[in-house]
A = this chain, B = another copy of it.
Amino acid sequence: MPTARLDIAYVGTRFAGWAAQPGQRTVQGELEEALARIVREPVELTVAGRTDAGVHATGQVASFTHERELPDRLAERLNAVLPNDVAVTAAGAAPDGFDARRDARARSYRYRVLASRIRDPFEEGRALWWRYPLDRAALDECASAIVGNHDFTAFTPTQTEHVLFERTVNEARWSEERSAPDGGEGEPGPLLVFEITAPSFMRNQVRVLVGTMLEVAAGRRTADDFRSLLEGAPRERAGDTAPAHGLYLVRVDY
């Protein structure tokens, strides 16, 4: 059957996550409704990353099979009927049998942290506001420790559908999306960004990693302690789950 691919961006704030659920406003639900109107047949989306409520995406990918021919300018037509907080950034034919979930070789997520004593209203709902000092070197040390093959049991909820807890992380690093101003008052502090790439992730994995790294960077636990968590420690030894609103699915590699 002919197969299509959608590239999708959304502000997660007002969605109950990706996956369609009865009575909830979801990204999948909005997209499938728009597709039914534009492609004029019911379609079911397969997605690369099933994001949770409040999580954003700039580079989500979904696929679907269809019987009717796709209309021209599909992305523009979909955007004309989609709500303002979700957009299809590209749409078109994919190789027959393309499956956005199964064929993905890697996913990349970003977690944004506004490290500032002063709130930034433009980052409300878009970055975690962290108003206490952070040890940047400690963040870098933790990120390095994450790369490679580890048992991430400590970084996903105890009640889980996952069976295997080993995962390989290709890349993990902190950078500055926006630098701290030159000691001046009146400007927000630096915007730190954690970016991580792996073939697959467990539920909440990035958020618990970030929550725990922030505890190290705040001096509340050591980098050695963090490293020891990567060897299959139980969930209760890791830190809090960082809030959903700092997390972005930014890229899927095929």
Binds B, one of A167-175, A182-190, A213-221, A235-243: A182-190
The B-contacting residues of A in range 110-144, CB under 8 angstroms, are 117-122, 124, 126
Q: Which chain B residue has the least Cβ–Cβ distance from A118? A: B89
A57-101 CB mask vs B (1 if < 8 Å, else 0) is 011000000000000000110010000111111100000000000
Q: List 17 A-B contacts (CB under 8 A).
A: A7-B186, A9-B120, A9-B122, A10-B121, A11-B121, A11-B124, A56-B122, A58-B122, A59-B186, A75-B118, A76-B118, A84-B119, A85-B124, A87-B121, A89-B185, A90-B118, A90-B185
Copies of this polypeptide in the complex: 2
The residues of B that contact A88 with a CB separation of less than 8 Å are 118
Residues of A whose CB lies within 8 Å of any CB of B are 7, 9-11, 56, 58-59, 75-76, 79, 84-90, 117-122, 124, 126, 185-188
Residues of B within 8 A of A86 (CB): 121
Pick from B84, B122, B188: contact of A11, CB below 8 A. B122
Most buried by B among A89, A120, A121: A121
Question: A146 vs B190: C-alpha distance in the bound complex, in angstroms?
Answer: 35
Quick one: closest B residue to A7, CB to CB?
A: B186
Q: Is A89 touching B188 in the complex (CB atoms < 8 A)?
A: yes
Question: How far is A84 from B11 in the complex, measured between Cα atoms in Å?
Answer: 17
